[in-house]
Amino acid sequence: MIISRTPYRISLVGGGTDLRSFYSKEPGMVLSTTIDKYLYVVVKRQLGIVEFKYRINWSRVEFRNSIEEIEHPIVREALKYFDIDFPIEISTFADIPANTGLGSSSAFAVGLVHALRALKGQTSTKYSLASDAAMIEVDILGRTMGKQDHFASAYGNFNVFTFNTNETVTVDPVFYRTESWEQLQKNLMLFYTGLKRDASEVLTSQNEATPGKYDVLAKMKGLVEPLREVLSKGDDLRQVGEILHEGWMMKKSLTQEISTNTIDNNYLVARNAGAIGGKILGAGGGGFLLFYVEEDKQEAVAKALPKLSHIKMGFDTSGSRITYYDQTVL
How far apart are alpha carbons 251 and 19 in whole angstroms?
14
Spatial separation of the C-alpha atoms in residues 37 and 315, rounded to whole Å: 9
Under 8 Å between Cβ of 177 and 162 = no
Residue 107 and residue 93: Cα distance in Å, rounded?
Answer: 11
Task: Render pLDDT for 240-250 as a digit per residue (tens, 0 to 9).
Answer: 999 999 999 99
Residue 279, Cβ density class (10 Å: 0-12 exposed, 13-18 middle, ≥19 buried): buried
Mean pLDDT of 3-15: 97
The whole-number average pLDDT for the span 174-184 is 96
pLDDT beyond 70 at 198: no
**CATH class for domain 2-174+318-329?**
alpha beta
- Average predicted confidence (pLDDT) for the chain: 93
Cβ atoms 231, 211 nearer than 8 A = no
Domain residues of the chain, as ranges? Answer: 2-174+318-329, 178-316
Q: What is the mean pLDDT of residues 294-310?
A: 97
What DSSP character marks residue 296? G
Name the pLDDT band for 200 (thresholds 50, 70, 90): low
Q: What is the pLDDT of residue 48?
A: 75
User: What DSSP character marks residue 46?
Assistant: P
CA–CA separation, 230 and 176 (whole Å): 9
Q: What's the mean pLDDT in 108-123?
A: 96
Instruction: Measure the CA dihedral 206/105/133/258, to 10°.
Output: 10
Task: Provide mean pLDDT across the span 233-259.
Answer: 94
pLDDT reading at 229 higher than 70: yes
CA-atom Rg of the chain in angstroms = 20
H or E segment and range at residue 204: helix 199-209
pLDDT at residue 204 above 80?
A: no
pLDDT at 199 over 90: no
Please tell me whether residue 309 adopts helix, strand or coil conformation: strand
CATH, range 178-316 = 3.30.70.890
User: Which residues lie below 8 Å from residue 69, measured CB to CB, with a gap of 6+?
Assistant: none
List, for residues 30-42, the tens digit of each pLDDT value.
999 999 999 999 9
Query: DSSP string covering 13-41, please?
Result: E-TTTTSHHHHTTS-EEEEEEEEEEEEEE
Kind of pairing, strands 54-57 and 61-64?
Answer: antiparallel
The CA–CA distances, whole Å, from 299 to 193, 264, 293 equal 18, 20, 10
Q: Could you read off the pLDDT of 51-102 as tens digits, one per residue?
A: 899 999 998 999 999 999 999 999 999 999 999 999 999 999 999 988 888 9
**How far separated are the first and last CA of the chain, in Å rounded?**
8
Residue 330, pLDDT score? 44
Q: What is the pLDDT of residues 117-150, one digit of tens each?
A: 999 999 899 999 999 999 999 999 999 899 999 9
Residue range 254-283: mean pLDDT, rounded: 93
- Residue 282 is predicted with a pLDDT of 85
Instruction: Render pLDDT for 261-274 as a digit per residue (tens, 0 to 9).
Output: 999 999 999 999 99
Q: Is 218 exposed, middle or buried (0-12, 13-18, 19+ CB in 10 A)?
A: middle
CB 278 within 8 Å of CB 289: yes
